[in-house]
Amino acid sequence: MYFQENYSLKNLNSFGINVSAKYFTGFKNTNELVEILATANENKLILGGGSNILFTKNFNGLVLKNEIEGIEIIKEDEKYVYVKAGAGVGWHPFVLYCIENNFAGAENLSLIPGSVGASPMQNIGAYGVELKNIFYELEAFHINDKNLIVFTNKDCEFGYRESVFKNKFKGEFVITSVTFRLNKFPVFNTSYGAIETELQKMGVQSPSIKSISDAVISIRKSKLPDPKIIGNAGSFFKNPTIKNIDFENLKKEYPAIVGYAVGLEETKLAAGWLIEKAGFKGYRLNDAGCHEKQALVLVNYGNATGGEILHVSEKIINAVKLIFNVSLQREVNIM
């Protein structure tokens, strides 16, 4: 197995942070992964699409790029088709595959950056749909025990941008494949955000998987910067959840505050609204900043360091806490 030394990671993280790994290699199947793990004693970082990570320094160890490809139908019944994808498959290309084959369920998750393997780690979600809604099972390789384990939906303990792979089993497994349960008969979810408005603008009267995907793509492009042009990791913060009574108190002072009921006792706030009202929308510190169209997105305008972007995030967290007494949590992994 060939390891490259002092390897630049600038093109392998969506922020475009100019850092390097002491050693770097990739793996295209489980056998190659086993070989790498057997020969390397360095600290290890598994890298997928690099879209949910902020490097604040060089990585003093081995970075392994997950390059496991392949998409296949493993079974189907009257209602569902079960599609297995390699962890190295790009997420949006996978969604396009589903749309082309008329498999429903993933269309609201169009244009999310990253890879299939990273998608269950934080239970990606957008426009009223989360990964757990279409997830069936995954295979993950245990780094220490050197065996492949199957995780069901229940095993993953999915939460809001959470799973066992971000908490209980963080750093213990390498996800090698994910299997999705997709609908043969679509049940469209168009009530969230501006999907219905966008469909009307497109002149769509009878929604389809493709038209909903197109609407989501159009909305995302209008609000979110393209990482290929302006470095970013999408939403940098989670939408915080607070008690209903605290929400009502905030609403008295800020009548326009945005919130959505979560169960009977809690309300989920729009972090972007809080950040904008705190005065950070369009904020810039050297080449690090808060995007001018979407306050939830922190950006690298060219040559920002990870430390500068982290500093901006800390300023935002402190300001939101001071003004609203609400604690923001980062969605992005800090390295």
pLDDT in tens, 169-224: 988 899 999 999 999 998 888 877 688 888 888 888 788 899 999 999 998 888 88
Mean pLDDT rounded to a whole number for the chain: 92
- How far apart, in whole angstroms, are the C-alpha atoms of residue 299 and residue 154? 35
76 & 151 share domain: yes
242 & 325 share domain: yes
Choose, from 67, 137, 308, 331, the residue flagged as catalytic.
331
pLDDT for 171 equals 85
Choose, from 110, 213, 235, 313, the residue flagged as catalytic.
235
Domain end position, chosen among 28, 44, 66: 66
- H helices of the chain, in order, are 30-39, 91-100, 153-156, 195-201, 209-223, 244-253, 271-277, 306-324
Confidence of residue 287 (pLDDT cuts 50, 70, 90): very high
Whether 161 is catalytic = yes
197 lies in some domain: no
Whether 331 is catalytic = yes
Q: Which CATH number fits the domain that encloses residue 130?
A: 3.30.465.10
- How far apart, in whole angstroms, are the C-alpha atoms of residue 295 and residue 298? 7
pLDDT for 246 equals 94
By residue range, what is the domain housing residue 24? 4-66
Least confident of 35-44, 305-314, 317-326: 35-44
62 & 76 share domain: no
State the pairing for strand pair 71-76/80-86.
antiparallel
Report yes or no: 213 and 186 within 8 Å, Cβ to Cβ.
no
Distance between first and last Cα of the chain: 26
pLDDT in tens, 226-279: 888 899 998 899 999 999 999 999 999 999 998 888 888 999 999 999 999 999
Q: Which residue's entry shows tokens 């959840």? A: 241
60 & 77 share domain: no
pLDDT for 68 equals 95
Choose, from 107, 110, 119, 161, the residue flagged as catalytic.
161
211 lies in some domain: no
244 & 173 share domain: no
168 & 262 share domain: no
Domain end position, chosen among 66, 90, 115: 66
- What is the number of domains present in the chain? 3
Whether 308 is catalytic = no
116 & 23 share domain: no
Residues present in the chain in total = 335
